[in-house]
């Protein structure tokens, strides 16, 4: 999935927009509800619909600490990839920092970065192989990840704002394929699954 040009181009745009002079707004804690789509770089993983929520706590006039939990699931449809046909569920729990550029009072571009824990669960579809009585199981392990993000928010009222954001989640996950052969003999093979994800999300933030 050739999406790596998106973040550099978007960061450049935010840098330009950040030069627009404006009066800074007083920072306030926020609670966000969001939805979007997650596109995996692994070849046989399809785009998954995502949803989540998060909090932000101001540290300075333009810097805030963020905590976010998201979830999506995606299908693996091509048995010639690392993962066989099945469904992969992904739940990132991320902590980061968000820096807001100068906006015009209503439109505020920002960048974000951080790290966290990504929970994964893979359910294989068809387990029976040829020859008869041969079955296979696969798993993808959970673990740490980092992320970079770019977004913008639009103030709708003193209590609400709309936002749109693109995040790039960075994780390569170890996994294992376990095959049970006729007669009960087991064989296993380790694999690495590319869980790098471009996650576009949008939603509403409530300002406390």
pLDDT in tens, 46-98: 899 999 999 999 999 999 999 999 999 998 876 556 787 888 999 999 999 99
Judged against a pLDDT cut of 70, whether residue 160 lies above it is answered with yes
pLDDT of residue 53: 98
Average pLDDT value for residue range 155-159: 94
CA distance 83 to 69: 25
Of 68, 151, 56, nearest to 116 (Cα)?
68
Question: In the predicted model, what is the mean pLDDT of the chain?
Answer: 84
pLDDT of residue 42: 84
Condensed to tens digits (0 to 9), the pLDDT of residues 9-58 reads: 554 544 444 444 434 457 899 999 999 999 998 878 889 999 999 999 99
For residue 28, which phi and psi values (nearest 5 degrees)? -140, 150
180 — pLDDT class (breaks 50, 70, 90): confident
What percentage of the chain reaches a pLDDT higher than 70? 81
pLDDT of residue 127: 57
pLDDT of residue 36: 97
Handedness of CA 180, 184, 189, 192 (dihedral sign): positive
Of 50, 57, 82, nearest to 208 (Cα)?
57
């Amino acid at each position: 999935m050739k999406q790596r040009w998106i973040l550099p181009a978007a960061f450049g745009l935010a840098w330009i927009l950040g030069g627009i002079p404006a009066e800074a707004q007083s920072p306030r804690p926020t609670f966000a509800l969001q939805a979007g789509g997650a596109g995996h770089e692994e070849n046989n993983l399809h785009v998954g619909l995502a949803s989540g929520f998060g909090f932000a706590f101001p540290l300075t006039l333009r810097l805030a600490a963020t905590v976010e939990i998201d979830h999506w699931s995606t299908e693996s449809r091509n048995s010639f990839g690392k993962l066989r046909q099945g469904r992969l569920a992904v739940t990132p729990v991320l902590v980061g920092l968000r820096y807001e550029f100068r906006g015009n009072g209503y439109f505020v571009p920002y960048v974000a970065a951080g790290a966290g824990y990504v929970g994964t669960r893979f359910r294989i579809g068809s387990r029976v192989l040829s020859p008869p009585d041969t079955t296979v199981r696969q798993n993808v392990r959970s673990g740490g990840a980092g992320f970079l993000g770019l977004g913008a928010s639009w103030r709708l009222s003193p209590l609400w704002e709309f936002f749109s954001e693109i995040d790039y989640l960075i994780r390569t996950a170890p996994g294992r394929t376990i095959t049970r052969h006729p007669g009960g003999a087991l064989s296993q093979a380790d694999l690495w699954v590319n869980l790098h994800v471009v996650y576009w999300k949008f939603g509403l933030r409530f300002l406390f």
